[in-house]
Chain A
Amino acid sequence: MIQLHNVTLAYQHDASALNNITLKIAKGEFVFLTGPSGAGKTTLLRLLYGALTPNRGQVIIDGQNITRLSPSQIPLLRRSIGVVFQDFKLLQNRTVFENVAITLEVLGWGRVDIGKKTMHILKQMGIESKYNLVTQRLSGGEQQRVALARALVNDPKILLADEPTGNLDEANKNQILNIFKEANIRGTTVVVATHDRRLIEQSHFRLETLIKGELLVEQVEKEKTRDNQAI
């Protein structure tokens, strides 16, 4: 589903932000991307949804080499990718419903279907009662769920999340993680960038570590029992 071959990317005047990254993520996989701040996690995610193009190397998403896409094809790529941003990027003066519905409006859905599907996903996220509130009046956890709803509402093939549990308490973290897991069960390939070790330890998914723009491959195999002990 996602393949990176020898990807190198440098911002202007800077040492390379990503250095010779080769990474393969299969369809339906759940991958944690971790590493200290500034290691290039966000940059890597931005490459995957076509906000950046690498200086060198190839990025292949769902069979398409996105380094060769024309600017007019990037939007079409993004329609099959749901992204949850670190800062959510919600429209502050719009309602929850409008924030989520925008994904479907862009796809050209009709009003009735947008209404149904949006309320459905809001219910899944447990925030359907807030559909008519403007997002700036929501708590951090609720905003996070709106962002998730927006990313998942069109059943994307790929879900990218950047520090999705940044400022959340434990209960909220677990709920968010469960939502990711559910999406993964439905067949969505999930990539979560985080430096939250607890989040990673609670699950037993593949872990990729970025350090100073380079990738360390390590498999985290965890015993269920240790999980239980921790709880």
Chain B
Amino acid sequence: MNKWKKKKPETIKQFKRPTLAGDGFGGRAGFFMSRAITNIRQNVFVNVVTIGTITLALLIVSLFLLIFVNLESAAENWSERVQVTVYFDKELSAQDQTLLNQKISALSGVSRVNYVTREEALKRFKSRLKGQETLLEGVRSEVLPTSFEIALKRSHRDTAAIENFVTVLKKIPGIAEVQYGEEWVRRFNSFLNFMRLLGALLGGFLIIAVVFIVSNTIKLTIYSRRDELEVMSLVGATRLFIKAPFLLEGLIQGMTGSIFSIFLLFVLYEGFLHNAGSFLTFNPTTSGLGFLPFEYVAGILLAGALLGFIGSLTSLKRFINV
């Protein structure tokens, strides 16, 4: 400003046409960005509150997602146990085995077919009765049936699909006795559906609450600066010019909030969640909760950014008709 004190224009001189801050989209975007950052720096408290709200809101949602995703994967593990077994009284010849195996594998929905010989069946029987082997004294493998164990693809594990599959299966000549634990499958599937419905409901309410809270917080921050909106409008700023910095600010708040929430979730997870909850699975190798898969993390980041942006957009609408 010293430069100004040196020069003393005696008369009012006309300034030549000023250079513009930036021409084209790039220049404007840069200007809006710098304005948004200035705004954040000038309103630290309000921004901390907003980012904090978004962080907590998204943390709640992502915690819920974490639990939901883990329940789903546990259910996935359980449903591995849904399988269809075809029993035979006699040991099949190698030729019959391959023939039937091919026919069964050709059916839609089959993920794996496994032939269980009498010896194998006895071995399993024994291992299941561990500690009480005496019960099996005198039991020879000949009394046990041989079988095909058919594992189904994930999309074919619900009750109706299994029933369909079994009717088709029974049409293959040579197959008579088929078992798939009808009752268990039915209960398991209805339990799963119930859980999903509950999850969707809870998640839906949670998201509505979060959107409501966040948009109201943003509304308050913009309300606190309505003077600025008004002044800008009165000195001839276009709507885009007024809105853009606020929208960018909302975007930055949303992204920052979502990054914090993912970080906090990770801390919580590393802290104590990842070795809890082994009761959810039957498979000891996957005990403990898994962290959110990458798509979910990306989704939360995106949701945060959108939340900030749309929150600002809807709030601005209310104040910008000055």
Contact = CB atoms under 8 A, between A and B. Distances in A.
Interface stretch (B177-185, B200-208, B225-233, B294-302): B225-233
B236 A108 contact: no
Contacts of B42: 93-94
B161 interface: no
B238 A72 contact: yes
Count chain A CB atoms within 10 A of each CB in B14, B42, B238 and give the residue with the most: B238
Interface string B214-234: 000000000000011011111
A104 B230 CA distance: 16
B231 A89 contact: yes
A199 interface: no
B173 interface: no
Given A108-B20, A113-B18, A117-B15, A150 B235 contact: yes
Contacts of B139: none
Interface in A81-126: 81, 83, 85, 89-94, 102-114, 116-117, 119-120, 123-124
Count chain A CB atoms within 10 A of each CB in B1, B234, B236, B239 and give the residue with the most: B236
Nearest to A88: B231
Interface string B11-27: 01011001111000000
Nearest to A186: B12
A76 interface: yes
Nearest to B19: A110
A173 interface: no
Count chain A CB atoms within 10 A of each CB in B19, B234, B238 and give the residue with the most: B234
Contacts of B233: 75, 78
A22 B310 CA distance: 45
B18 A110 contact: yes
B278 to A, nearest CB: 55
**What is the size category of the interface that chain B forms with chain A?**
20 to 34
Contacts of B175: none
Given A91-B228, A123-B4, A78 B21 contact: no
Given A91-B228, A120-B9, A124-B12, A78 B19 contact: no
A113 B4 contact: no
Contacts of A81: 236
B4 A128 contact: yes
B237 interface: yes
Given A108-B20, A111-B21, A113-B19, A91 B231 contact: yes
A109 B227 contact: no
Nearest to A150: B235
A39 interface: no
A109 B21 contact: yes
A89 B236 contact: no
Nearest to B231: A89
Contacts of B238: 72, 75-76
A47 interface: no
A103 B232 CA distance: 8
**What is the size category of the interface that chain A forms with chain B?**
35 or more
Interface string A49-82: 1010000000000000000000110011111010
Contacts of A72: 238-239
A83 B234 contact: yes
A155 B12 CA distance: 11
Interface in A142-188: 150, 155, 182, 186
A205 interface: no
Given A113-B15, A119-B1, A128-B4, A107 B231 contact: no
A124 B12 CA distance: 9
B191 interface: no
Given A75-B237, A102-B231, A102-B235, A116 B12 contact: no
Contact of B227 (A89, A103, A131): A89
Count chain B CB atoms within 10 A of each CB in A49, A108, A111, A186 and give the residue with the most: A108
B125 interface: no
Interface of B: 1, 4, 9, 12, 14-15, 18-21, 31, 42, 227-228, 230-239, 241, 322
Interface of A: 49, 51, 71-72, 75-79, 81, 83, 85, 89-94, 102-114, 116-117, 119-120, 123-124, 128, 131, 150, 155, 182, 186
Given A89-B231, A106-B235, A124-B12, 19 more contacts: A72-B238, A75-B241, A78-B234, A79-B235, A79-B236, A81-B236, A85-B234, A89-B234, A91-B231, A92-B227, A94-B42, A102-B235, A103-B235, A110-B18, A111-B21, A113-B18, A119-B4, A123-B4, A182-B12
6 contacts: A49-B234, A75-B238, A89-B231, A91-B231, A106-B241, A117-B15
